[in-house]
Amino acid sequence: MACNKLYNYNLVTRDETDITATAENAFFPANNLHDYRTTKVFRTPDGTTTGIIDFDFKTAEPVDAIILVGNKFDGLGFASITVEANITADFSSPLFSTTVDIEQKFNFGFKDVSTTKPEFRFWRVTITGAAPFVELAHIFIGPELSIGRSINLNWSFQNNDLSSVTKNRHGQRFTDIRNQQKEIRIGFSKLSKTEYPLLQDAIDINGEHTPFWVVIDPEAEISDNMGRFAGPFFLERAPQIKNPFYARYDVNAMRLLEAI
């Protein structure tokens, strides 16, 4: 199925991308959005319930999706979000504008714009919410890893509880409660000799240090829990590659752990 999505090139987190905000908390500046960690948030000053963040990607590049995740501890940090793009830094009449559907339950937002594929240098994100401030933890703006074939349907998911539990000699439990971390395994089958290098290049470039963004079933054809399965994930180890047929390649399940 073509509805499963994999992304590896985030225009937001590139070093060359300039990120500025109209108002920011000095301890939580807009430049935090360069960081993959969801605790490194952008936040407005107390009393400011609208946050405006501008991105200069330096070059106009095609975009297939906008993806959001919130602070793992505090949630998304806003109630609504608008994303705009333009050929100049003047946003009085942007050439592209959209809203992103967000799911507070799953701490997630997603908008597929691949049908229009906007290609602009300057982008603006506006978030609104309630007092005392609004914040944005992590946003992906960029292209899909388009290899022509979907992630296999035999993907797997689990939520690992990172809490630690100790017991005394009487069997009493003492628990340090921590957050949960998603784990997902995905594979690809029968990639052609032109498709396989695209995936291999992404694996080489991202390695274990740069997150992949995974969105399983955004069209809700299989499950209504798309937001539960999605987000930024680190590759735990390079997957095994098999060559079962002439000029066809299978990529065994890639084990990915949620970037927290």
pLDDT in tens, 38-56: 789 999 999 999 999 999 9
3-state secondary structure of 32: helix
| Whether the Cβ atoms of residue 101 and residue 110 lie closer than 8 Å to each other | yes
Strand partners, 98: 83
| Whether the Cβ atoms of residue 124 and residue 53 lie closer than 8 Å to each other | yes
Model confidence band, residue 152 (pLDDT cutoffs 50, 70, 90): low
Tell me the C-alpha distance between 56 and 62, whole Å.
Answer: 14
The pLDDT > 70 percentage for the chain reads 96
Q: Token pair of 28, please?
A: 């939580």
Tell me the C-alpha distance between 43 and 77, whole Å.
Answer: 9
| Whether the Cβ atoms of residue 103 and residue 227 lie closer than 8 Å to each other | yes
Strand partners, 65: 112, 142
3-state secondary structure of 259: coil
pLDDT in tens, 199-241: 999 999 999 999 999 998 777 666 778 888 899 999 999 999 9
Task: Look up the pTM and report it.
Answer: 0.90
pLDDT in tens, 90-145: 999 999 999 999 999 999 999 999 999 999 999 999 999 999 999 999 999 999 99
Domains of the chain in start order, with CATH, are 5-142 (2.60.120.260), 156-258 (no CATH)
